[in-house]
């Protein structure tokens, strides 16, 4: 499988509409790639908290969902057209979703080569402790995987979806692995001051789950927060296959999907897990 990570620079001097159009053009430029991945909250900026409500968009997670207004917001519409034109599977990063009852979520969109919204993932772990995203947005409650069909280049695979701060919670990724994920996709708006943690955690999640990790971050500085950049592709053994710098950049990597099964067979650590043990001092 050929995958491209689009590390987008978020500059608040650029309008959201202009950035959507620019990113759509970048996606269209990935024709011939199987999977394209965008960062977290790239339309508005992950730390632009004051803009969340203003830039929130409708996202209909199924045809049965009724919203007051457009079924889908402008980011989905732009990315749907771009994915359809490029004939790629597109993880369109995440947007600020506003539900029919007015709640906000940090919601990722997965779009098929036909331009259809296949799955969404609402970020489970919100960053900020007692401010920012943690107070402005509701938490998702569902682990999400997406089955990708075979391509002329190779077999299909299953994506496991997570977002940014989720990286710090290994139990989420183990749940995705148990659900069949072979490729973990992590869009992020990670701050530069904690880039060492980004590097460590992306490799750790790959090693402990014996999966590929595609972690796509933003570049630039917005809302006074310098972004880490350094989007990265890690293989199931924890080797970094490709890593971006700090500016806007496209990483394109060939993934040998059979390497997941080979790694798990040759080093079968997952089968040695012992789950459900009683805590010390208690009885089962």
Q: Which of 55, 97, 164, 248 is catalytic?
A: 164
**Which residues have a Cβ under 8 Å from the Cβ of 4 and sit 6 or more positions away?**
30, 33, 35, 36, 37, 250, 251, 252, 253
Q: Identify whether 131 is a catalytic site residue.
A: no
113 CB-side CA count, 13 A: 13
Q: Which of 55, 97, 123, 182 is catalytic?
A: 123
CA distance 50 to 11: 15
- Alpha carbon 82 to its chain centroid, in Å, reads 18
Which region holds residue 227: left if phi is over 0, alpha if psi is between -120 and 50, else beta? beta
CA distance 30 to 263: 29
Other residues' Cβ atoms within 10 Å of the Cβ of residue 154:
15
Q: Identify whether 254 is a catalytic site residue.
A: no
Q: Identify whether 123 is a catalytic site residue.
A: yes
CA distance 213 to 202: 7
Specify whether the CB–CB gap between 42 and 218 falls below 8 A.
yes
Backbone torsions φ then ψ of 183, nearest 5 degrees: -130, 120
Catalytic residues: 40, 123, 164
């Amino acid at each position: 499988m050929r995958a491209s990570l689009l590390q987008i620079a978020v500059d608040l001097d650029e309008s959201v509409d202009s950035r959507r159009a620019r990113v759509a053009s970048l996606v269209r430029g990935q024709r011939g790639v199987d999977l394209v991945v965008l960062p977290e909250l790239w339309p508005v900026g992950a730390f632009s908290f004051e803009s969340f409500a203003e830039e929130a968009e409708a996202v209909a997670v199924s045809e049965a969902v009724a919203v007051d207004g457009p079924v889908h917001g402008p980011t989905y519409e732009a990315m749907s057209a771009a994915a359809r034109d490029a004939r790629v599977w597109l993880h369109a990063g995440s947007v600020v979703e506003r539900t029919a009852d007015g709640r906000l979520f940090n919601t990722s969109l997965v779009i098929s080569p036909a331009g259809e919204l296949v799955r969404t993932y609402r970020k489970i772990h919100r960053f900020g402790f007692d401010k920012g995203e943690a107070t402005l947005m509701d938490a998702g409650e569902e682990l999400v995987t997406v089955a990708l069909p075979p391509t002329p280049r190779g077999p299909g695979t299953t994506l496991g979806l997570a977002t940014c701060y989720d990286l710090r919670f290994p139990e989420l990724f183990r749940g995705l692995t148990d659900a069949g994920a072979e490729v973990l996709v992590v869009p992020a708006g990670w701050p530069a001051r904690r880039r060492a943690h980004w590097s460590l955690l992306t490799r750790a999640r790959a090693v402990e789950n014996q999966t590929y990790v595609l972690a796509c971050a933003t570049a630039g500085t917005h809302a006074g927060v310098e972004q880490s950049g350094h989007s990265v592709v890690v293989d199931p053994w924890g080797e970094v296959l490709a890593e971006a710098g700090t500016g806007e950049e496209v990483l394109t990597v060939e993934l040998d999907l059979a390497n997941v099964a080979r790694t798990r067979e040759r080093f079968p650590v997952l089968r040695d897990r012992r789950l459900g043990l009683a805590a010390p001092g208690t009885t089962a």
